[in-house]
Structure 1
Amino acid sequence: MTVRPLSFERDIHDLEERLESLESQQNQSPETSEAIKNMRAEIVRLRRQVFDNLDAWQTVQVARHENRPQTLDYLNLIFDEFIELHGDRAYGDDRAILTGFARIDGRKVLFVGQHKGRNLKERNTHNYGMAHPEGYRKALQKMELAAKYHLPIITFIDTAGAYPGIEAEERGQAYQIAYNLREMSRLGTPIISTVIGEGGSGGALGIGVGNYVCMLQYSYYSVISPEGCAGILWKHVKHADKAARALRFTAEDLLKFNVVDKVVPEPFGGAHRNHRQAATNLKVELVQALRQMSGQTPQQLIDQRYDRFRKIGMFEEAAGGAEAVG
């Protein structure tokens, strides 16, 4: 798989190309072998230097990388079985959200995940992961089915946001997302939500009301995209990098704010460099979370989920009223 380098990876990419050229030489001399060894060490050093110090905008670029594993990739690599369920019984089958029964580590679960698509045809089919109201309605119906049969629910979040078109608004986009938030909070079964790439706005939260919420290391979870924020506050998308820093939406930030419970480490250099290792890391986290919640009663799960979201955010009382901290 050819991995397109991001702007801040170009020096690393150039070294990797030179290394590949040296390694392809036959009858390598001792000098060449030593150069190869040194170059490998330099690549590791550079990559660690870059990825240990990514800023918020660079994190967004990694989260959007064209080679980053998506929902269907993880379905194939993590789950032993997947039987897709279609339609919302009212309007249609929104392919931006995939739902179905799955099996992980021998345990049956209900899976819900947003899928963007890899090429133009797939992206058009899945609408770039931006769901219409029928997608959220489909997701909730399947989650209610899972609760009926006491199946845990696993959701994967990867969307720039819910589809903002006129037809989506005409069919009740805002209402359906709000309805999902309320009804998910009442489901008496474990819900584990993972941000695998972009977690944009209500479109992400519409399937993200979980007992346990985790994020991959180089993903982001935000009330608005950095471009949307820049357009509102600075009147131009060119300030997206400034907006990204202001929004404090990286996994590291959100772990400090108790918005997420765990940051799942990605392979060295990002999940786009090693899909299988990224899937292995995530599977370990999902299986552990399922075990932690097994044995809890429906009411305990509902109460825990309620308490979890009530505790998000920190406030101090000041003379002029409550002020947010952090």
Structure 2
Amino acid sequence: MLQILLVTFPFFALVLAGYVAARRRMLPLEAIPGLNGFVLFFALPCMLYRFGSTTPIAQLLDMRVAALYLLCGLVIVGASIALTMNARIRWNDAAMGALVAAFPNSGFMGVPLIVALLGASAAGTVILTMVVDMVVTSSLCIALSRLDGTQGNGRSAMFDAARKALRGVVANPMPWAILLGGLASAWALRLPKPVEQTVWLLADAASPVALFTIGAVLARAQMTANHPMPLSDYLPASLMKLFVHPLLVFAAGWLAIRAGMDLSSSALTVMVLVAALPSASNVSLLAERFGADNGRIARIILVTTAAAFLTFSCAVAVLT
């Protein structure tokens, strides 16, 4: 367990450093969008391209992993909405809460952390789960978030939100980086040496800057939240993300293997560890854009990120 903590500690320490820097105003809140932009449009796509281009294409196209992970994500979304909807939490807030319960921080945290723990061979499975979450899970939850209002307008708004979500996927550089990396892997292509060195340098910057940015984003969200909130509004979704999601993925994978599915134990381990990650910090931006209660979403992300230092490390200890 100590060896695992020695690997995971620096990752969570960087999150804490970003949180403290923003809370103490050593990092101006106005600078956080700039950090986000650097990670989202430069460093992280380069890291995803590097892992994609050096991962066997069969691993990036493993439909058994994608289908099993998607099924578990859909169950989490449905269960979260069913458990949290009440007189105050309607479709918009419930759907965003479901997204934050089902969408792990696999981009900013999962890829570098799981690769550090299990080696570069784990990158393909993590990247595949990212594609599922970015393309399907997030689009579904955004569409569901538009069901508030009258029935007719609700349907129209839902389809409009679905179209906007798909446009958002197209505008997101991360899926394109994964696609280009996969093509480079399939065709054994290499970038010209100077270009490759530039991409690799940006890729090396992705992990520390992304983790620091997560902490800063969490601090900003907590500082701008201006109303108290009962634990019942955000603790169930936090517990679902940290415990129910990884246990469900493990159970589904174990049953699939017992039923004869050709799913390797190493791929299942990576899938469970992805599910055990804290909630994705970018869901807070989606909640803000679609008018959901961002204070609730920010609390879920903060709780899962703080608790994951122990829960994720325990999951690694049990599975490896």
For the superposition of Structure 1 and Structure 2, which TM-score range results when normalised by the shorter chain? Answer: under 0.3
Higher relative contact order (CA 8 A, sep 6+): 2
> Which structure has the larger Rg over C-alpha atoms?
1
TM-score (normalizing by structure 2)? 0.26
